[in-house]
Amino acid sequence: MFDTNVLPSKEFNLPIISVGNITVGGTGKTPHVEYLLKLLHQDKKVAVLSRGYKRKSSGFLVAGLDTSSVKIGDEPRQIKRKFPEVAVAVDGNRVHGINKLLSGAAGFDPDVVVLDDAFQHRYVKPGLSILLVDYNRPLEKDYMLPYGRLRESVSEKKRANIIIVTKTPPNLKPIERRIISTDMKLFPYQNLFFTYLKYGALKPVFFENAELLTKKIDDKKLDVLLVTGIANPVPLKEYIESKYNRVEHLKFPDHHSFTVKDLNKIDKVFNAMASDNTIIITTEKDAVRMSDNKIFEPLASILYYVPIEIEFLDDDHEVFNKRVASFISNSKKIQGLNRSI
């Protein structure tokens, strides 16, 4: 219905970048959005608009530094904490959300809007659409829901200007890249890139306990209870297992809201492992929800998370950065409050 204009796709006269996927489950949207913010926020006034998945609020809401993940969702909360100068807003109606941002709801007039998880939200027509594909789940070998994990037909990747194969091995061979590129059957207007996850040094979930970090955190003799509530914890689990002595894993559903019952389960497993060399490690996204949940405060001295970011293979980041910069510089921007078409 969108393809035949029965349903409208609204365009705006400012640069709008969409980041999304076709499959259900994690493809690394948040670290890719954060990469864009690092690239843009020094020179541009940037706003991020998300639907705020699983938040306990409704309508349009602009995040403050103290706005909880309950109100805006864990991913917008994470982004706001890392980029306080960026406007982060949530709205299930993206057209309404963009119009609110253009009317100054975030306190400034944005130069560019980044739409998080919006590949299927076709009521807005972005100027630059970035589609993420998990290296471990090729589109061509997947099927539509409920038999497979595809939200829509593989053919719909034609709407993307840029396709990024995420979570690739850092040492992906050139021949593998060529095979993937051939299998993708891309159009001439589409650019293909490859990224991998880069894990950072452990950080405390509760910032006030930063002084508790010690050199023993990187000790190979350390035992770890890994607690995850994300779609695909396998890459992180493999990374943790490669660094530490013993790893036990408690897996919860994606975007899980932790309860006292969950905490008791975590305590039980931790106490069964406990020694002077045992800590709890969680994901960056889970850490956002835990830090907003007072039930986890008693674990502050042993509770850490692994920050992640993405890296492009080879020198692809230079080509990608230029592609984004070119899009923004060539986009029209009409001054004033009414910039929608």
DSSP output for 107-147: SS--SEEEEES-TT-TTB--SEEEEEEETTS-GGG--BTTT
203-204 β-sheet, strand order: 203-204, 303-306, 278-283, 223-228, 246-251
Residues 6+ apart with CB under 8 A from 322: none
Separation of alpha carbons 295 and 259, rounded Å? 8
Q: What residue ranges of the chain have pLDDT lower than 50?
A: 215, 333-341
- Specify the pLDDT at position 337: 41
Calculate the CA 78 to chain-centre distance.
Answer: 9
pLDDT digits (tens, 9 = 90+) for 75-87: 999 999 999 999 9
- Specify the pLDDT at position 281: 96
Q: Are 3 and 112 in contact (CB under 8 A)?
A: no
> Tokens 């995420």 label which residue?
166
Considering Cα of 185, then 190, then 192, then 198, what sign does the dihedral take? negative
- Specify the pLDDT at position 24: 85
- Long-range pairs, 179-184, Cβ under 8 A, ≥24: 180/135, 180/138, 183/138, 183/140, 184/139, 184/140, 184/157
Burial of 7 (0-12, 13-18, 19+ CB in 10 A): exposed
Q: What totals of helices (H) and strands (E) does the chain contain, helices first?
A: 9, 14
- Specify the pLDDT at position 334: 43
Name the CATH superfamily housing domain 16-198+310-330: P-loop containing nucleotide triphosphate hydrolases (3.40.50.300)
pLDDT digits (tens, 9 = 90+) for 88-125: 999 999 999 999 999 999 999 999 999 999 998 899 99
Q: Which ranges in the chain belong to alpha helices (H)? A: 29-40, 69-72, 74-82, 94-102, 174-184, 234-243, 260-273, 284-291, 316-330
Separation of alpha carbons 245 and 321, rounded Å? 39
Length of the chain: 341
- Both structure tokens of 260: 């006292």
Nearest partner of 305 among 199, 216, 222, 211, judged by Cα: 199
- Specify the pLDDT at position 213: 53
3-state secondary structure of 28: coil
Q: Are 279 and 304 in contact (CB under 8 A)?
A: yes
